[in-house]
């Protein structure tokens, strides 16, 4: 039984959005010097291929425009999230008050 093309376009749209987020995170890491450029290029190629596959044999419609807009927003969100990493809090002083920690 063949899979409907619209279902495959939806999956490609989801992948495009995810890859755009990871590309944004990678762009921030490359800018900070924590990653090589090749990883950023790999995410950008994946994003571009999935985005181009959405319009292969189909006209540009609301789904494609929506995916592109969300992908651009998540690229920016991934970039922003990577620039502000979570702080690792050490809960040892809360678990073991007054320096009674394990030794």
Domain assignment of residue 101, yes or no = no
Q: Which domain holds residue 70?
A: 5-85
pLDDT digits (tens, 9 = 90+) for 10-68: 999 999 999 999 999 999 999 999 999 999 999 999 999 999 999 988 899 999 999 99
Domain assignment of residue 96, yes or no = no
Domain assignment of residue 99, yes or no = no
Neighbours of 65 (CB within 10 A): 11
Query: How many Å apart are CA 86 and CA 46, to the nearest integer?
Result: 27
Residues 26/79, Cβ–Cβ less than 8 Å: no
Domain assignment of residue 93, yes or no = no
Domain assignment of residue 15, yes or no = yes
Helix boundaries (H) for the chain: 5-32, 37-54, 62-83, 92-95
**pLDDT class of 84 with cuts at 50, 70, 90:** confident
Average confidence score pLDDT of the chain: 90
Q: Domain count of the chain?
A: 1
Task: Read off the pTM.
Answer: 0.80
Buried/exposed 88-98: b ≥16 CB within 10 Å, e otherwise = eeeeeeeeeee
Domain assignment of residue 25, yes or no = yes
């Amino acid at each position: 039984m063949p899979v409907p093309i619209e279902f495959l376009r939806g999956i490609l749209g989801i992948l495009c959005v995810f890859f755009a987020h990871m590309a944004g995170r990678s762009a921030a890491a490359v800018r900070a010097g924590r990653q090589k450029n090749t990883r950023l290029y790999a995410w950008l190629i994946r994003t571009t291929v999935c985005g181009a596959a959405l319009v292969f044999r189909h006209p540009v419609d609301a789904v494609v425009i929506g995916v592109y807009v969300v992908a651009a927003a998540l690229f920016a969100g991934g970039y922003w999230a990577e620039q502000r990493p979570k702080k690792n809090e050490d809960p040892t002083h809360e678990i073991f008050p007054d320096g009674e920690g394990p030794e």
